[in-house]
Amino acid sequence: MAEPKENLQMEKIVSLCKRRGFIFQSSEIYGGINGFWDYGPLGAELKRNVKELWWNSMTRQRDDVAGLEATIIMSPAIWKASGHVDTFSDPMCDCKKCKKRFRADQLCEDQGLTLIKNADGKFALPEGTKCTSCDSKELTEPRPFNLMFKTYVGPVESEDNVAYLRPETAQAIFAQFKNVLETSRQKVPFGIGQIGKAFRNEVTPRNYTFRSREFEQMELEFFIKPDEAIEAIHGSVATVAAGHPGEPQPNWGWQAWHQYWVEERVRFYEGIGLSRETLGFHIQTKEELAHYARACTDILFKFPFSKKDEQGNVKGDELEGIAARSDFDLSQHQRFSGKPQHVFDDELRQAWAKLPKEKQDDLWRRYYENRKNYLTKSGVEAEAAAKQATDDANALAKGNYVPHVIEPSAGVDRLILALIANAYSETTKTDDKGKSETIYTMKFHPRVAPIKVGVLPLLKNKPDLVAKALAVRDLLRPWMNVYYDDGGSIGKRYARQDEAGTPFCVTIDFDTLGEKPELLDTVTLRYRDDGKQERLKISELRDWLLVKIR
């Protein structure tokens, strides 16, 4: 049977990634290890560029976000509070006949079925589900499988010493919320960003690096005031129309902030070459949302393996989720650690004191209901929840609250894969003798391209050309990743750079040395995507390139 076209596309991408040194299988000489990938020389540069762009746009270029770099192994109490120990699992089932193991929801999805979730939270396979490997219908009932990797801290392998490799970077941000707040001179609304490794023992890693067991995340927790506080201070909470809501305003509630971050993140993707047409959105339904979440919008990318819907449209697969998580996370850590996580807001205290009694009562009641709802849903017994919610609402009236949070959470590796799939382009050229050749070009945006410029002396056996080319390389090197190449014909060298995704090449030729005096100290600059060439002065080269790559 012919290979489906989209898989063929993935195969070509995987093969180019290996051939050119973007991505290798981890531990390949030992047969590899499922769900783990290494980045080769070009992949490492690409990844570094992406992380740096995220870090710059999310922290350095903003006044309202600070950075953090926390450890991978943290107190296991953090994962108890966050809910990961009890509920971070995927339903897994086995084929009794061929012994193949599946993630039950994916197994159903692959057959156009939906996994059944019973009222007691247990899962069941719908009628007709079969093993996709051997067609047997003898499958075990789905059972939860916790995705956290376990290890032991210290020499004794006992339950007391169990620790986990973090399955997300976000929790460290919550756990360090107070320290960052106190040391960064930030005030709510503000965010904390972090980039780092995360580990999930995925039941079935698949789609190349898309679902890996070790990966990196770029996460922002943006802390905001509860809507009741905004209403007390500003009279009402801003309403938002569709699209980017513009510069942040003091009267923004969670909806405006959520929309703002969705749009900011889309702008980020557009800025590195993923146009809106390549992206998709999934707005989580009430049923899909966690009980504490107000909203979650997933930004998707249309990967070659993304499935089509009934109308034949490709929706895409998740690159990033932007969730409005209420005050759940800090509240959980407050309850589990016993350390207060609220902030004091004098503007709120003063504004509250001036409100008419009915308004105070209205806001008090709404805040009380929200807090009680969170506490009871989190398993606090009704009476205790009512008492705690009363204390919390009284605290609000004095200017204290636990901040709410908007969380844009992106995966580095998925983005790298999206950029690679988006950049991949092939054309077949046939020469005069009828010999055809496939040309591969990785059309990366110059901002993310692993190599920014190739520096090529026309001939390598002419010392003057080589010396000049090396001088150009050294001129550019402190500013960008430069690749010097003097091996083979100029056409071959261009082709090599096209495959690596290098957006520009400069060639040092005899005119550079002054053969035509008016062209002394100029180079030929060649564009990757259309092969267009122009002449540029060496003295202007660095600034010209910097504008393109930043």
- Tell me which residues touch ligand ATP (CB under 6 A): 168, 200, 202, 211-212, 215, 217, 318-321, 409-411, 413-414
CA–CA distance from 489 to each of 94, 464, 496 (Å)? 56, 18, 11
Q: What does residue 318 show for φ and ψ, rounded to 5 degrees? A: -65, 130
Is the Cα torsion angle 115, 116, 117, 122 positive or negative in sign?
Answer: negative
- Cβ pair 363, 232 in contact under 8 A: yes
Nearer Cβ to ligand ATP, position 229 or 323? 323
Nearer Cβ to ligand ATP, position 320 or 498? 320
523: its two tokens: 């180079």
Nearer Cβ to ligand ATP, position 227 or 320? 320
Q: How far is the CB of 169 from ligand ATP (least distance, A)?
A: 9
Nearer Cβ to ligand ATP, position 105 or 509? 105
Q: How far is the CB of 282 from ligand ATP (least distance, A)?
A: 10
Supply the DSSP string of 232-268, one letter for each residue.
HHHSSPPP--SS---S--TT--HHHHHHHHHHHHHHH
Nearer Cβ to ligand ATP, position 329 or 413? 413
Q: How far is the CB of 74 from ligand ATP (least distance, A)?
A: 17
Q: How far is the CB of 481 from ligand ATP (least distance, A)?
A: 25
Q: What does residue 296 show for φ and ψ, rounded to 5 degrees? A: -150, 125
339: its two tokens: 């350390």
Q: How far is the CB of 415 from ligand ATP (least distance, A)?
A: 7
Q: How far is the CB of 425 from ligand ATP (least distance, A)?
A: 24
Q: SS3 string of 363-378?
A: HHHHHHHHHHHHHHHC
- Cross-strand pairs, 409: 219, 321
Nearer Cβ to ligand ATP, position 92 or 233? 92
Report how far residue 62's alpha carbon sits from residue 460's, in angstroms, rounded to the nearest whole number.
47
Report how far residue 90's alpha carbon sits from residue 359's, in angstroms, rounded to the nearest whole number.
45
45: its two tokens: 């540069």
Report how far residue 331's alpha carbon sits from residue 223's, in angstroms, rounded to the nearest whole number.
13
Nearer Cβ to ligand ATP, position 268 or 483? 268
Q: How far is the CB of 409 from ligand ATP (least distance, A)?
A: 4
Q: Residue with CB nearest ligand ATP?
A: 411
Report how far residue 256's alpha carbon sits from residue 262's, in angstroms, rounded to the nearest whole number.
10
Nearby residues of 188 by Cβ (< 8 Å), 6 or more positions away: 223, 224, 225, 343, 345, 403
Nearer Cβ to ligand ATP, position 409 or 522? 409
Nearer Cβ to ligand ATP, position 324 or 389? 324
Nearby residues of 303 by Cβ (< 8 Å), 6 or more positions away: 207, 210, 316, 317, 417, 418, 421
Q: Is 454 helix (H, G, I), strand (E, B) or coil?
A: strand
Report how far residue 154's alpha carbon sits from residue 82's, in angstroms, rounded to the nearest whole number.
24
Nearer Cβ to ligand ATP, position 363 or 410? 410
Nearer Cβ to ligand ATP, position 168 or 511? 168
Q: How far is the CB of 102 from ligand ATP (least distance, A)?
A: 15
Ramachandran region of residue 521, left (φ > 0), alpha (ψ -120 to 50) or beta?
Answer: left
- Cross-strand pairs, 116: 124
Q: How far is the CB of 411 from ligand ATP (least distance, A)?
A: 2
Nearer Cβ to ligand ATP, position 284 or 373? 284
Q: How far is the CB of 212 from ligand ATP (least distance, A)?
A: 4
Q: How far is the CB of 276 from ligand ATP (least distance, A)?
A: 18
DSSP code at position 72: S
- Closest listed residue to residue 407, CA positions, set 327, 343, 332, 334: 327
Nearer Cβ to ligand ATP, position 284 or 390? 284
Angle at 474 between CA 504 and CA 519, to 5 degrees: 60
544: its two tokens: 């010209």
Report how far residue 66's alpha carbon sits from residue 187's, in angstroms, rounded to the nearest whole number.
11
Nearer Cβ to ligand ATP, position 90 or 345? 90
Report how far residue 512's alpha carbon sits from residue 467's, in angstroms, rounded to the nearest whole number.
12
Q: How far is the CB of 416 from ligand ATP (least distance, A)?
A: 10
Q: How far is the CB of 167 from ligand ATP (least distance, A)?
A: 8
- Cross-strand pairs, 144: 91
